């Protein structure tokens, strides 16, 4: 009975955390429209609400014990869609001014996500790896990636340029690259462990 109840919770679709995570996906096109329309104040508030849901969906899942398979997919998907949308839109100087995100940083952020996605797919296909827990560097990278568009939107809202943004851009780039390297090391360890287990089984 206990196992059945756990499985039912895991397979649940309509839960509070899932609804919160879904709202982040819904807010992404709204944010894009506001940025392209140069409605900086509304864009800032929308992005602030969107990134806040990243905290609340996890908190709700723990509080109500509503962790589900769908939630495990919606949460990171919501993050990636929101980040990709905001970084690309805010990389257009004609749209985002007086401050914009450098193209090299946007390329690094999106490139790392594609790299990790391909790595996760390869790990699943090669060794059947299904769980991909976040790392400290991954969480730090995500925090900085969220701070970057938020800072750009805020400064654009008050129509002020700041040289401090460059330091934030560089720090975000460094942590993004480090997290990619860290995930690579973890992936190689998984492969090495799988090979060792295969050798033991064949002997």
Please tell me the pTM assigned to this model.
0.84
94 and 69 part of one domain? no
85 lies in some domain: no
158 and 71 part of one domain? no
Q: Are 73 and 23 in contact (CB under 8 A)?
A: no
185 lies in some domain: yes
Give me the phi and psi of 70, to 5 degrees please. -65, -40
Q: Give me the chain's average pLDDT, please.
A: 85
Read off the pLDDT band of 43 (50, 70, 90): very high
173 and 130 part of one domain? yes
96 and 7 part of one domain? no
Q: What's residue 101's pLDDT?
A: 97
pLDDT at 159 over 90: yes
83 lies in some domain: no
The total number of structural domains in the chain stands at: 2
33 and 130 part of one domain? no
Read off the pLDDT band of 120 (50, 70, 90): confident
pLDDT at 72 over 80: no
38 and 2 part of one domain? yes
Q: Are 15 and 73 in contact (CB under 8 A)?
A: no
Q: Could you read off the pLDDT of 74-85 as tens digits, one per residue?
A: 777 888 899 999
Q: Could you read off the pLDDT of 123-141 as tens digits, one per residue?
A: 888 888 777 787 899 989 9
190 and 113 part of one domain? yes
74 and 112 part of one domain? no
Q: What's residue 74's pLDDT?
A: 73
Pick 126 or 6 by higher pLDDT.
Answer: 126
174 lies in some domain: yes
pLDDT at 194 over 60: yes
pLDDT at 92 over 90: yes
Give me the domain span that covers residue 18.
1-78
Q: What's residue 10's pLDDT?
A: 52
> Among residues 44, 78, 112, which one ends one of the domains?
78
pLDDT at 156 over 60: yes
189 lies in some domain: yes
Q: What's residue 70's pLDDT?
A: 62
> Among residues 78, 100, 115, which one ends one of the domains?
78
Q: Which of 27, 48, 50 is nearest to 157 (CA)?
A: 48
Neighbour count for residue 180 (Cβ, 10 Å):
19
3-class DSSP assignment, residue 186: helix
Calpha distance 95→92 (Å, rounded):
5
């Amino acid at each position: 009975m206990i196992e059945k109840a756990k499985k039912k919770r895991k397979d649940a679709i309509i839960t509070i955390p899932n609804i919160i995570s879904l709202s982040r996906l819904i807010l992404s096109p709204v944010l894009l429209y506001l940025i392209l329309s140069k409605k900086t104040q509304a864009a800032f508030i929308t992005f602030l609400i969107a990134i806040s849901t990243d905290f609340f969906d996890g908190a709700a899942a723990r509080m109500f014990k509503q962790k589900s398979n769908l939630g495990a997919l919606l949460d990171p998907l919501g993050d990636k869609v929101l980040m990709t949308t905001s970084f690309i839109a805010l990389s257009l100087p004609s749209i985002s001014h007086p401050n914009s995100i450098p193209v090299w940083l946007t390329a690094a952020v999106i490139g790392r996500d594609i790299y990790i996605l391909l790595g996760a797919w390869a790990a699943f296909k090669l060794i059947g790896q299904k769980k991909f827990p976040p790392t400290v560097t991954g969480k730090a990278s995500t925090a900085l990636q969220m701070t970057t568009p938020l800072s750009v939107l805020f400064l654009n809202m008050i129509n002020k340029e700041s040289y401090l943004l460059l330091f934030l851009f560089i720090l975000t780039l460094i942590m993004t690259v480090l997290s990619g390297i860290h995930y690579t090391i973890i992936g190689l360890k998984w492969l090495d462990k799988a090979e060792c287990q295969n050798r033991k089984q064949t002997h």
